[in-house]
Chains A and B, each alone.
Chain A
Amino acid sequence: MGVSINWLKQYVDFDWKAEELAHRLTMAGIAIEGVERVDDDFILDLDLTPNRGDCLGMINLAREVAALTGSSIRLPEIVIKESQENINQYIKVGIDDPDLCRRYAARLIKNVKIQESPAWLQKALIHSGVRPINNVVDVTNYVMLECNQPLHAFDYNLLGNTILVRRARVGEKFTTLDEVERTLDNDMLVITDGSKPVALAGIMGGLDSEIHDATVDVLLESAWFLGPNIRRTSRKVGLRSESSIRFEKGTDINGVIYAVNRAVMLIQDLAGGEVARGICDEYPVPRKELQVTLRPERVNYLLGTELTPSLMRSYLEKLQFPVKERKGDFIVNIPSYRPDIEIEVDLIEEVARLHGYDQIEPGLPGGEIIPGGLTPFQKFRDEIKNIMSPYLNEVINYSFISEENFQRLLLPQDSNLRNVVRIANPLSEEQAVMRTLLLPGLLHNVSTNLARKNENLGFYEMGAVFYPAESGLPLEKMRLGAIVCGHSDVNWTRHRVEMDFFYLKGIVENLLWKLGLEECEFIVAKDSSYHPGRSAVLKYYGDELGVIGEVHPQVLQNYDIKQRCCAFELDVEKLFAHKRTRSMVDRIARYPAVERDIAVVLANEVTAAAALKVIRDAEKELLKDVVVFDLYAGEQVASGYKSMAFRMTFQSMERTLTENDINSSVNRIVERLQKDLSAQLR
């Protein structure tokens, strides 16, 4: 909101230049975002916190300035020439729902002349961002900006002689000033002429009773409506106005009369007319005085200061809060224009901000420092990131995705992953459901990067996925996902690694090894999102930890990816549950190790895992290690077969092995391969 300094100066004196004033107010909690020079004036850009809606009124803002300068404010004096006719002859006000409207006051001015407002008034409104309309409406807006009390002007002759404030009827129709027909409900408050609505209380008047050029008699409304209800209605009908904004934040119920009188006075000045005697003021249950006790020792206890009670009192008095002392405590009468102050800490904040936050000495909490730290699971997640980061770039994706992803991932209709937590009010369909897996985000990352010609990608993400729960909050599960495509960067050594299934499997094996889970098995997977011949589930003693594989070509196409991609997704909580600390299991042998290579021809269906198992089982004592070091299929081998070469390391803890020892071991191994897997030695 824009605040004119010239206007402000009508109520309070200060010598500060605009920037200085802005700084002082900001440091007192009334944030000024900027200062703009306009003609001979400066406009402050006010950015109020929600608790200080009172400062949307010039007079209340002036009170803040006065508290800072130590001066006092000048309220415009009200002088009204009333006619002999009593307002009660003309209008009768009733409140059916005093829970939503605690006060309703009205005044009547007859025979006004509607015309353009004078320049000073138009300028004041424009500087505050309000469009001038005519003298009567402009006055209501001016007084709203001045007193923070929204007013409404009705054309009395279009209204009749009754005002009844009540809840709207379900389905009741009403056309507001902006010519939109609104359908109301029983939670909304309306001002009626006894039968039909003439205003949506506190938000906007009706088209049928508005002030127009031919209006002669004006009925002014000044009322107090319950903020939360105004807020609710305003949201429901999708209409926010300068008026509703103020009521939402809370207005001064005791300022109702001053504001309407101020408006009447100005209208009489600018539009002439006769003011009916008296005010129609329905105020069934007047506000109780609010007294809050402030204990000076509590102020110092909470702030860590040593302020004297008299200094504290002086700050409250600068704010014009009436203060009485009782047994060393201050009993403070809270002015009705400060609805934000309810309890003692609110007053402590007033003392603190007038004293100046920067005047409070900083310190560190005393007492013994109990070492803080991370939980084992937090450390574990760090460890995983540390293991992944040398190879892959970490990404962070939104937790919500489009439901369309499930189709693109070829998930069966009955897949659990389609059972989602749905956002009731998403920004778009793209962000409508909470993710149940990380893969869609990772595929999206690859797709957008490739579209930008960023080739050769390797990403990982750790984050929560979400599933509906029977009751209470949804389930949140921590996942680790990764995706790779392309190859390592081109370079002059011609040393290049394809980032294929086995590259990614290597990353997973490295992770599993570091977590002590190298016994994890890779078993052929049946996962519709992955290549059926190039994917595996990871099982650790029967517990499924996740899946790894080349992404199904159809899925890649659905994500507009024209390269092979491999991905995995693991359950972090399960990894954590199984994690083992590594320990030294192999003694270091003092006798030399001997390597032997064999190559055997095997049927294509025989897996490396099966062959390795046969080899290990055949020689449990002397075989230290065995690796596959070559795989060949082609001209040299019959079709349907492959040649697999193994490098075996033999070693004994007790002695140096002889040629005989090794030969007999190798023979035994070859025999078992021949017998169990119909292998042929090459």
Chain B
Amino acid sequence: MLNKLKEIADNSEKWLSQAGSIEEINELRVKVLGRKGEITQVLRGLKDLDAGERASVGKIANQVKEKLESMISSRTEEIKGEELQLRLSRESVDISLPGLPLQRGGKHPLTLINEEIREIFLSMGFSVAEGPEIESDYYNFEALNIPRDHPAREMQDSFYISEDILLRTHTSPVQVRTMEKLAPQLPVKIIVPGRVYRRDDDATHSPMFNQVEGLVIDKRITFGHLKGTLMHFAHKIFGEDVKVRYRPSFFPFTEPSAEMDISCVNCKGSGCRVCSHTGWLEILGAGMVDPRVLQFGGYDGEQVTGFAFGMGVERIAMLKYGINDLRLFFDNDKRFLRQF
């Protein structure tokens, strides 16, 4: 009987080592450990032995049974593992093939830049104000201290609808509109994004373009605040390492007026084609709100002061995205739009 047990154990081990599938192992399990299996038979035969032999053979038989059970289960795990490995290797794909092309859309680069500019000023407590694209001469010029026949009108050749109505040449009219709405509330802290129009069409001018205007009015607003606010903006949008400088300029609705330059983002200030070899790029115009404009808006220039600024969104986008041709913005070529 012991021989029989040894034989069963040997045969089973052999079988197990040769078995290549779960099915074969199950077959073995039935053959050896099943209700009519070989070990079961041996255990059943124990009753014919005498008591002493029964105990020792029974013990060995149980040991063999336990051993076989554990071998079967570990071999089962092994084979499951092998089968999984096999499946995984069969299922491998060329992961370099492109993904399913969901139609790729996107925002226009000017929208993206506008959003970026807006976020910076929103975080500084600004609100967004808007106004009509078709404006009255009063808001576009008169109330901004640009009377008829003022040479500054030359800077902005306009599209007229009638003698007194025109396509706004800048977003500045919203300054006065907002002041009229809010006066005498303080502070006024707005930016004004929007389309503007000038009668100019060549490689560097588009008859329609986008501006972002800004206006801050409060007690004790200073030129230093203008510098600090716009410097913060320049650093946020072009990086902390850009250098900023201010030089005197002229806008009829601000006094003193300033132009803000940043160190060239292309050559870092050493001089290149982008900055006309000056190392500096003109980014925006700004200034302290002219007291006459404050008065048009319903504020007393002795009691409150303010600063205003304006920038061309296309220019910022061109510098930021390395776009070399203004016309691309309104050409709407798919190959251009898809890059953003």
> Which A residues lie at the B interface, using CB under 8 A?
26-29, 31, 33-34, 49-53, 227-229, 231-232, 248-249, 301-305, 343, 345-346, 348-349, 352-353, 357-358, 360-367, 369-375, 378, 382, 385, 388-400, 421-427, 431, 434, 445, 448-449, 452, 454, 457-460, 463-464, 466, 473-474, 476, 488-489, 491-493, 495, 497, 499
Contacts and interface: CB of A to CB of B under 8 A. Distances in A.
A474 B332 CA distance: 27
A255 to B, nearest CB: 19
A423 B157 CA distance: 13
Given A29-B249, A389-B107, A397-B332, A374 B122 contact: yes
Contacts of A357: 223, 227, 245-248, 258
22 contacts: A27-B247, A29-B248, A31-B247, A31-B249, A50-B152, A50-B154, A302-B288, A304-B225, A363-B227, A364-B124, A364-B225, A371-B125, A372-B189, A374-B128, A390-B102, A396-B332, A399-B133, A399-B208, A449-B333, A476-B132, A489-B101, A491-B98
Which 6 A/B pairs are nearest by Cβ-Cβ distance? A29-B248, A304-B222, A228-B149, A304-B224, A49-B250, A349-B256
A398 B167 contact: no
A434 B223 contact: no
Contacts of B249: 29, 31, 49
A365 B214 CA distance: 14
Contacts of B52: none
B221 interface: yes
Interface string B122-149: 1011111010111110000000000011
Contacts of B256: 303, 345, 348-349, 352-353
Given A370-B187, A398-B208, A423 B161 contact: yes
Contacts of B255: 345-346, 348-349
A393 B161 contact: no
Interface string B303-340: 00100000000000000000000000111111101100
A626 B124 CA distance: 50
Given A345-B288, A360-B224, A363-B225, 12 more contacts: A27-B248, A229-B149, A346-B255, A348-B256, A357-B223, A378-B128, A391-B103, A395-B332, A425-B159, A448-B332, A464-B195, A476-B134
A495 B102 CA distance: 10
B268 to A, nearest CB: 18
Given A389-B105, A473-B136, A398 B248 contact: no
B133 A464 contact: yes
A29 B126 contact: no
Interface residues of B, number: 84
A51 B160 contact: no
B122 A365 contact: no
A305 to B, nearest CB: 7
Given A425-B199, A449-B334, A474 B245 contact: no
B75 interface: no
Contacts of A375: 127-128
Contacts of A28: 247-248
A191 B167 CA distance: 38
Given A51-B250, A304-B222, A385-B111, A491 B100 contact: yes
Contacts of B227: 357, 360-363
B127 A372 contact: yes
A132 B263 CA distance: 41
A400 B130 CA distance: 20
Contact of B223 (A33, A360, A396): A360
Given A345-B291, A394-B337, A385 B107 contact: yes
Contacts of B201: 427
Nearest to A373: B127
Contacts of B87: none
Given A360-B223, A378-B128, A421 B161 contact: yes
Contacts of A458: 103, 105
A492 B288 contact: no
B110 interface: yes
A343 B291 contact: yes
Nearest to A466: B134
B232 interface: yes
Nearest to B199: A427
Given A396-B110, A399-B133, A421-B161, A459 B332 contact: yes
B248 A352 contact: yes
